[in-house]
Chain A
Amino acid sequence: MEVEALVIDAKGMHYTPLNRKIREAVASGVKEIILNNVLGQRFICDGLRGDVKITINGVPGGDLGMFMSGPECEIFGDAEHAPGNTMDEGTLVIHGTAGDAVAHSMRGGKVFVEKNIGYRGGIHMKEYQGKHPVLVVGGTSHAFLGEYMAGGLILVLGIGHEAAVRDRGIGSGIHGGEIVIRGDVNEKLLGVGAKKVGFTDEDLERLTPVLNEFCERFGIDPSPFLDTSYSRIIPESSRPFAGNYTWE
């Protein structure tokens, strides 16, 4: 039986009753929820499970989709700090920009940001067994991108910008996963334990589905991006700091 989309006017609503409504709806089998007039409510879909699509019209507050496990959220507006924080599974599609620490500690699922993100994007993302988190940024990223990264993929396209990343500390402390940045990246911008390697045709083949999905989500023609003009940044070692210590 098809259940109709639930529309919630979130104007002036606190996040707790809002989340409660969402949770109740999902529990009762609703597959589509539309939140209108969202402005600043944090923790939307916090810890939410299930197979549901949630459309958010407005600017949600920080920690959107924190601990989320499964749902898909499409945001027509900018997101603030740490969307996808410690997310387990599911998708965030942000038609706009996002703040600092996007996809912090994300273990699975996808975060697509159409425009720019702030500092420390993808910090401590990690992968595990079948889970492989993906962060794709259409615009640019600031410093410490993929800091402490332990797995997954970060892809930054820099659409409309001369350089996708101009800030320092890329992949600082990285010990797993990969950071792929459109265009060349100055070695000086790499953080501790990160190394730049060539981007090959095999890499392109591997990433093509992600590129296609991202472009499709935002109605962009993928063809200009299907080449090898990328820099790929990976860990020098899976144990970046092991050499710093001696035992008593």
Chain B
Amino acid sequence: MSLGSVPLKYRISIDRDQCMKCMRCVDNCSYGVFRVEDDKILIDSRKCTACHRCISMCPRDAITLQERPVDYRSHPLWTVEAREDIINQARTGKIILAGMGNALDYPVIFDRLVLDACQVTNPSIDPLREPMELRTYIGKKPSKLDFTKNNADVELKTKLTPNLKLDTPIMIGHMSYGAISLNAQLSLAKAVAKTGTFMGTGEGGMHEAIYPYQDHMIVQIASGRFGVDINYLERGAAIEIKIGQGAKPGIGGHLPGEKVCSDVSCTRMIPLGSDAISPAPHHDIYSIEDLAQLVRGLKEATNWEKPVFVKIAAVHNVAAIAAGIARSSADAVVIDGFRGGTGAAPKVFRDNVGIPIEAAIAAVDQKLNDQGIRNEVSVIASGGIRNSGDLAKSIALGADAVYIGTASLIALGCRVCGNCYRGLCPWGIATQKPELVERIDPEVGAEHVANLIHAWTLELSELMGAAGINSIESLRGNRERLRGYMLDEGLLNVLRVESVGA
């Protein structure tokens, strides 16, 4: 018995009157949608991923894309996805993998939070003309100042442990070389160096080409320990232990052998062509005390000169876990919400496991505040931050800074088609094919990413100024400047935010 084929996801058509047969679509599509026969461009729509590469390169706007050109009988429960997944699994008997972040239609809490602005009782501040301070230090802070007093002379006794100094509270999250191309990583690295901020290496080691930007790199140590040796640890501006990831909490990762080319193999320090398997847990961390050990082990190895962050996926008990992390020598807790992106994750995890970042930030901030240790550790939020509004709201809910991932890739051309796992990214991002990778010019890519960070920074300044705040410290955890719109009481309580009008 045959299940037959499922309908097309996208239909591509060419307006033949407009088309000038420049063949850019044929050259640009790495999925093989277009081919030329007898001087005619033929189309195989079934291969299309909606990456928009052809559309963006067509000089005549001759290409049209239609999503789901074939209707199913509509049904509120048996969605198209539900039906097609079943057909897929009936055929294969396998776990379904998917790319990018959570694709289910959960309400976005950010879109139900609104920010405040001054009217009369205090003046808004114009950031174009008056000072506006976004400088953010990530790392441990003392609970109180220690000093000696000699008459009028006050001598500082507190010794600050190393902190990262950010010019703007926007960092770029961990995307490894292997998951993304070297040119993509290089673009991001140049951008963070330009904008005075930092980015993560991901669990892929550090390629030589990144060395010039190492002062802006946060080196990751994950369960696979790929690319990790003492040189790598010493190169980083900070070290991040990855426990989990918002797109797939509780499971490890596989970089398929076919993506392990010779350069990736060198950077990760693994054999060519073999799967790079990151186990689900770190096998030297089976408990919170073991985590504290690894934090100290890393600090000890690097002479206590590097801040150490710990990244966890936002899961139900995120607040208590973060409080445990804060009690170790860790300098920052990174919380990755359930909308976090990924190259590939089992779909059932991507869409069903974990909690939204908004609730996670609020819960973590509250727990740390209740325990009197909020200011002693930094909180970095990530997972679905789309614009400066999300950024401002994250900080007002209690984050010190955010990591962006998908947003920075969109600045490099990504159109969120979600086919990263296939290694054919026509934008040269999620691929190791040299002819595709070279589509990114790292100088140009860096400019776009830096533009994005710069624009959000300007907007954040404007939002703060409108709220009468001229220093980022005063926005952090300032729930008074947020109101919930159409959020239920339970969630308002978790967020510690009042309703609009209240």
Interface residues of A (CB under 8 A from B): 15-16, 19-20, 23, 42-43, 46-47, 49, 62-63, 66-69, 81-82, 85-86, 88, 101, 104-105, 107, 120, 123-124, 126-129, 131, 147-148, 150-151, 173, 175-176, 238-248
The minimal Cβ–Cβ distance linking B318 to chain A, given in whole angstroms, is 27
Indicate whether B387 reaches chain A with its CB closer than 8 angstroms. Answer: no
Check B275–A240 contact: CB distance below 8 A: yes
Q: What residues of chain B lie closer than 8 Å to A148, measured between beta carbons?
A: 277, 279, 283
Secondary structure of the A contact surface, majority rule: loop
Q: What residues of chain B lie closer than 8 Å to A16, measured between beta carbons?
A: 300, 304
The residue that B297 contacts in the complex, of A43, A69, A151, with Cβ under 8 A, is: A43
Q: What residues of chain A lie closer than 8 Å to B265, measured between beta carbons?
A: 128
Indicate whether B455 reaches chain A with its CB closer than 8 angstroms. Answer: no
Known contacts A242-B275, A247-B96, A248-B98; A128/B257 CB under 8 A: no
Indicate whether B92 reaches chain A with its CB closer than 8 angstroms. Answer: yes
The minimal Cβ–Cβ distance linking B285 to chain A, given in whole angstroms, is 10
> Cα distance A43–B293 when bound, in Å?
9
Known contacts A63-B297, A85-B284, A248-B99; A128/B422 CB under 8 A: no
Indicate whether B229 reaches chain A with its CB closer than 8 angstroms. Answer: yes
Check A238–B275 contact: CB distance below 8 A: yes
Contact with A along B406-432 (1 / 0, CB 8 A): 000000000000100110000000000
The minimal Cβ–Cβ distance linking B189 to chain A, given in whole angstroms, is 24
> Cα distance A20–B303 when bound, in Å?
8
Check B274–A150 contact: CB distance below 8 A: yes
Check A46–B257 contact: CB distance below 8 A: no
> Cα distance A56–B275 when bound, in Å?
38
Check A128–B283 contact: CB distance below 8 A: no
Check B277–A246 contact: CB distance below 8 A: no
Q: What residues of chain A lie closer than 8 Å to B88, measured between beta carbons?
A: 246, 248
Known contacts A67-B229, A105-B225; A126/B279 CB under 8 A: no
Cβ-closest chain B residue relative to A62: B293
Interfacial residues of chain B within 364-386, with CB under 8 A of chain A in the complex = none
> Cα distance A86–B321 when bound, in Å?
25
> Cα distance A156–B269 when bound, in Å?
26
Check B300–A244 contact: CB distance below 8 A: no
Known contacts A82-B284, A123-B283, A247-B421; A46/B275 CB under 8 A: no
Secondary structure of the B contact surface, majority rule: mixed
Q: Which 9 A-B pairs have CB atoms at the shortest separation, nearest pair first?
A: A47-B301, A246-B94, A105-B225, A248-B98, A246-B92, A238-B274, A128-B269, A47-B230, A43-B300
Cβ-closest chain A residue relative to B257: A239
Check B275–A247 contact: CB distance below 8 A: no
Contact with A along B266-300 (1 / 0, CB 8 A): 10011101110101000110000000010011001
> Cα distance A114–B94 when bound, in Å?
44
Cβ-closest chain A residue relative to B232: A67
Q: What residues of chain A lie closer than 8 Å to B60, measured between beta carbons?
A: none
Check A239–B274 contact: CB distance below 8 A: yes
Indicate whether B89 reaches chain A with its CB closer than 8 angstroms. Answer: yes
Check B277–A173 contact: CB distance below 8 A: yes
The minimal Cβ–Cβ distance linking A238 to chain B, given in whole angstroms, is 4
Indicate whether B471 reaches chain A with its CB closer than 8 angstroms. Answer: no
Can you spell out 28 A-B residue pairs with CB atoms less than 8 angstroms apart? A43-B297, A43-B300, A47-B233, A47-B300, A47-B302, A63-B293, A66-B301, A67-B301, A85-B297, A104-B284, A107-B225, A120-B283, A123-B283, A124-B223, A128-B269, A129-B269, A150-B270, A150-B277, A175-B274, A176-B271, A238-B257, A240-B277, A242-B257, A244-B94, A246-B88, A246-B95, A248-B99, A248-B347
